Amino acid sequence: MSMGLDVSQLPDIDALTVGILGGTGDQGRGLAYRWARAGQRVRIGSRVAQRGEQAAAELAGMPGVAAGTVTGGDNAYACGADVVVVAVPWEAHAATLRDLVKPLVGKIVVDCVNPIGFDGKGPHALAVPEGSAAQQAAAVLPESRVCAGFHHVSAVLLADPQVSRVDLDVLVLGDDRDACAVVQALAHRIDGMRGVWAGRLRNAGQVEALTANLIAVNKRYKAHAGIRVTDL
């Protein structure tokens, strides 16, 4: 019934280097591990260069990671990559990007930050003046190619070397279709994942906020929930 996802139309990204801002956090480190294991070169960035270097050294010692695949440094170092993933805590989001406007000019920037708060009633979406973290990134980085994706990946599954497949879909948001195709291809580099274009950047807010629902699901059902898009 559906035409489905035509993976053959995605670009060849084998030669691209992926930088990760906030690569020492759970989400960034987990993604870095999966990409490194798939042979993608990764630059771990951190606020403090030494912490980025240390995280890279740790990842380099994990099962399936070839020598020389992962390097680390400060966030500016990570910006030297072809594609730069933003995986910093929401609280540090705007300030981190404001410091990196110049090195990110012309780069594909993949925002995967979830503005989520917690209180006595559990997780909930935070209001973002720009509409979403991704739209905030686009406002701060007018000369970058800002997309959004990788919001719903389970850091626990990503980081576990025993987990061979991470079966879920990455919803990729963005107005630059070529940039989105690169982000989709990055999802397909991880066994079990697909990258599905799911709307313009103005529709990123609900995708980010849905993470609150998945956290509620995880708590209720003792799961590491993600989502799949059906009929694709």
Rounded distance between C-alpha atoms, residue 113 and residue 70, angstroms: 22
Rounded distance between C-alpha atoms, residue 230 and residue 113, angstroms: 24
Contact track, a copy of itself, 82-121, x by CB under 8 A? ---------------------------------------x
- Confirm or reject binding of residue 123 to a copy of itself (CB under 8 A): yes
| Candidate residues 70, 122, 147, 194; the one interacting with a copy of itself per rule CB under 8 A | 122
> Could you tell me if 1 and 231 are in contact, meaning their C-beta atoms sit under 8 angstroms apart?
yes
> Could you tell me if 161 and 63 are in contact, meaning their C-beta atoms sit under 8 angstroms apart?
yes
Which CB, 29 or 224, lies closer to a copy of itself? 224
Smallest gap, in angstroms, from Cβ of residue 187 to a copy of itself? 14
Number of residues forming the site for a copy of itself (CB under 8 A): 45
Smallest gap, in angstroms, from Cβ of residue 140 to a copy of itself? 22
Query: How far, in whole angstroms, is CA 203 from its chain's centroid?
Result: 17
- Confirm or reject binding of residue 38 to a copy of itself (CB under 8 A): no
Rounded distance between C-alpha atoms, residue 123 and residue 119, angstroms: 7
| Candidate residues 62, 92, 155, 229; the one interacting with a copy of itself per rule CB under 8 A | 229
DSSP element (H, E) containing 218: helix 205-221
- Confirm or reject binding of residue 54 to a copy of itself (CB under 8 A): no
Which CB, 103 or 199, lies closer to a copy of itself? 199
Nearest CA among 185, 180, 172, 182 for reference residue 229: 172
The residue type at 73: G
- Confirm or reject binding of residue 193 to a copy of itself (CB under 8 A): no
> Could you tell me if 187 and 150 are in contact, meaning their C-beta atoms sit under 8 angstroms apart?
yes
Rounded distance between C-alpha atoms, residue 112 and residue 114, angstroms: 7
Site residues, a copy of itself (CB under 8 A): 1-5, 121-125, 154, 167-168, 171, 173, 196-200, 202-203, 205-207, 209-210, 212-214, 216-217, 220-232
